[in-house]
Amino acid sequence: MGQAIYALENVQQNYDGRCVLDIESLSVMQGEVLAIVGPSGAGKSTLLRLLNFLEAPFSGSLTFDGETASAEMDIEQRRRVTMVFQHPVMLKRSLDANLHFGFALRGEKLSEELRAEWLQRLGLMGLRTQAANKLSAGEMQRVALARALIVEPDVLLLDEPTANLDPANVALMEKIVREENEKNHTTIVLVTHNVFQARRLAQRTALLIDGKLIEITDTEQFFEQPETEQTAAFVRGEFIY
Partner 1 sequence: MEVLFEALLDAFGLIIDLDPELRAIVGLTLRVTGIGLVLAMVLGIPIGVGLGLSKRIPAAGCVVPLIYTGMGLPPVVVGLFVYLFLSNQGPLGDFRWLFTPTAMIIAQTIIALPLVIGLTLTAIQSIDPMLPLQVRALGATRGQLAWTMLAEARLGLFAAIVAAFGSIISEVGAVMLVGGNIAGETRVLTTAIVLETRKGNISLALALGLILLGLAFLANLVMYRLQVQGASK
Give residues in contact with Mg ion (CB under 5 A).
45
Are 84 and 77 within 8 A, CB to CB?
no
Of 8 and 132, the one with the shorter C-beta distance to partner 1 is: 132
CB count within 10 Å of CB 120 equals 10
Determine if 196 is a binding residue for ligand ATP (CB under 6 A): no
Determine if 45 is a binding residue for ligand ATP (CB under 6 A): yes
x-marked contacts with ligand ATP along 59-88 as a string, rule CB under 6 A: ---------------------------x--
CB-based contacts of 27, cutoff 8 Å, min separation 6: 4, 6, 7, 8
Nearest distance from C-beta of residue 21 to Mg ion, angstroms = 12
Which region, judged by CB under 6 A, interacts with ligand ATP, from 34-42, 141-149, 221-229, 232-240?
A: 34-42
Which region, judged by CB under 6 A, interacts with ligand ATP, from 42-50, 97-105, 110-118, 164-172?
A: 42-50
Of 86 and 230, the one with the shorter C-beta distance to ligand ATP is: 86
Are 51 and 189 within 8 A, CB to CB?
yes
Beta strands 155-159 and 81-84, pairing class: parallel
Element (H, E) at 64: strand 59-64
**Cα–Cα distance list, 162 to 65, 109, 193, 198 (Å):** 28, 29, 10, 12
Identify the DSSP state of 94. Answer: B
Which amino acid, residue 103?
A: F
Quick one: CA torsion of 221, 223, 224, 226, rounded to 10 degrees? Answer: 70
Among residues 26, 32, 37, 44, the one that binds ligand ATP under rule CB under 6 A: 44
Nearest distance from C-beta of residue 149 to partner 1, angstroms = 11
Nearest distance from C-beta of residue 163 to Mg ion, angstroms = 10
- Comparing C-alpha atoms, which of 38, 28, 12 is closest to residue 210? 38
89: three-class secondary structure by DSSP? coil
Determine if 15 is a binding residue for ligand ATP (CB under 6 A): yes
x-marked contacts with partner 1 along 119-158 as a string, rule CB under 8 A: ------------x---------------xx--x-----x-
x-marked contacts with partner 1 along 56-95 as a string, rule CB under 8 A: -------------------x--xx-xxx-x-xxx-xxxx-
The binding site for partner 1 (CB under 8 A) comprises 49, 52, 54, 75, 78-79, 81-83, 85, 87-89, 91-94, 101-102, 105-106, 131, 147-148, 151, 157
